[in-house]
Structure 1
């Protein structure tokens, strides 16, 4: 599981930062990719990344401002030309269906795959399968904006093959029973307990990706104990009044949210174009004064999310 930052700027693209889009690389988990927001130019950014549109099967839009949305039509149509055949599910606020269907209809676009649009009406679990659960909550922005909490389900502990061999447990159905947490009885009458030969379950990872927002309790709840919190930090702390006026966050807001939530890592994005390369360290340092494990994302920067305990 890896986050790939395709666009890390705010408002409009600059020479250094494109507007917002983040990919979650799930090749090792599901064989595909998820996208979070699709600002203008996202498909051009994808061309310079390991992301493959044909294997992208979910797109989550945080809100309907253009710097998070205007790249979506190109993404949807290009997917048809890049081997995308399976269903693509699009999630986001009410209005996303009208925007998407209007653009596709007026441009007479023909998709080679099924497009499923899920508009979020109520907070809570919006998607769940055998591997992941996704929760959405409203944030505090000028228009309806959502944050997403992606929870990987716990993985079963590993069988200790060496110990099973030592105990004389024959390979086959008994291995499966032990893996399922059952006790088994061998031909000589010995009882083997699952807990003695199966390692502890591996806790799933938690990733939180927020849309634009003022500091809010909803963000803290979405990021509770997250392995990674991706939080907008449009302004430095000296511009708190400006952040409040435009319903955005500062580096200090992002850091306080990460601290209150008990997150492991904070990655800040949606950086105002007023900040050049030389100011990036200043923004990062402001956050680190509150939350030590904080980073400012750059376009094409990636972060691999480790398990908290070893999988071995």
Structure 2
């Protein structure tokens, strides 16, 4: 599992940063990619990454501001022109369906794959045996959501050496035992896989935020997260300006990570006023409060 940042700027692109988009690489977990936001130029950024659009399974939109959605029509069309027939599910606030259907219709575009559009409400938006995704509203000028992605606990490690020592032959039977099944050997012995598994491995938790000023739901989304991805649009001294526009400062973001008990903070969505050198000051302001802070840059990859 890894996070691939395609755009880390706020509002408008700059020479160093494109507008918002990031991808969660789940090739090892479910042979797919999940995208969060799709600002203008996102498909161009994909060309410089390891992401395969045919394996794009889900897109989660945080809110309908242009720097988070204007890349969607082009990306959806290019995925179709690439010949993909695999289904794609798009999640987003009310209005996302009208936006996508209108732009595709007026441009005469068509899709070669099934596209399901789900307009989300606060609460659980997706839950299967591997992942649960919850969305909660944030504090912004328009309806904006943050997403909490919770991975299911994974089975503990199978004690293969003990099984071999007890005369259980290696092979496909080990996979069944790792799944916790009970099997009968040729000699009549019944082996319960649960007896040979170590402690379950806790699933990972990610909190991925849309644009937001400080608010109560932010703490719920980030509680004990392994990784928290949050905007740090402006420096600490500009709190009033940031909050009035529905954004957070470095200090507010770092304090949230600390209070929530997050293990790791990745900051993104930086104002175009900050160049590469100036951005380091934003990172330092966060690290002074929450040392486990890292700064995202376009095309940066973070292993989780």
TM-score, normalised relative to structure 2: 0.94
Q: Which runs of 5+ in 2 are unaligned?
A: none
Q: Deviations over 1:12-67 (max 9, x none)?
A: 01111000000111111111111100111111111111111111011011000000
In 1: Cα distance, 2:9 partner to 2:303 partner: 21
Partner of 1:308: none
In 2: Cα distance, 1:190 partner to 1:163 partner: 15
Partner of 1:309: none
TM-score, normalised relative to structure 1: 0.92
Shift in Å at residue 281 of structure 1?
Answer: 1.6
Query: Per the alignment, do residues 163 and 298 of structure 1 end up closer, same or farther by CA in structure 2, a change over 3 Å counting?
Result: same
Query: Per the alignment, do residues 170 and 218 of structure 1 end up closer, same or farther by CA in structure 2, a change over 3 Å counting?
Result: same
In 2: Cα distance, 1:173 partner to 1:300 partner: 40
Task: Report the number of matched residues.
Answer: 304
Partner of 1:142: 141
Q: Which runs of 5+ in 1 are unaligned?
A: 306-312
Partner of 1:11: 11
Partner of 1:257: 256
Query: Per the alignment, do residues 182 and 6 of structure 1 end up closer, same or farther by CA in structure 2, a change over 3 Å counting?
Result: closer
Partner of 2:202: 203
RMSD: 2.0
Partner of 1:160: 159
Partner of 1:40: 40
Deviates more, 1:77-86 or 1:270-279: 77-86
Query: Per the alignment, do residues 29 and 178 of structure 1 end up closer, same or farther by CA in structure 2, a change over 3 Å counting?
Result: closer
Q: How does 1:1-312 map to 2 (within 5 A)?
A: 1-120=1-120, 122-170=121-169, 175=174, 178-181=177-180, 194=193, 196-305=195-304
Find the residue that maps to 1:78 and give its secondary structure. helix
Q: Deviations over 1:163-190 (max 9, x none)?
A: 1011223557975675454777889898
Query: Per the alignment, do residues 94 and 164 of structure 1 end up closer, same or farther by CA in structure 2, a change over 3 Å counting?
Result: same
Find the residue that maps to 1:11 and give its secondary structure. coil
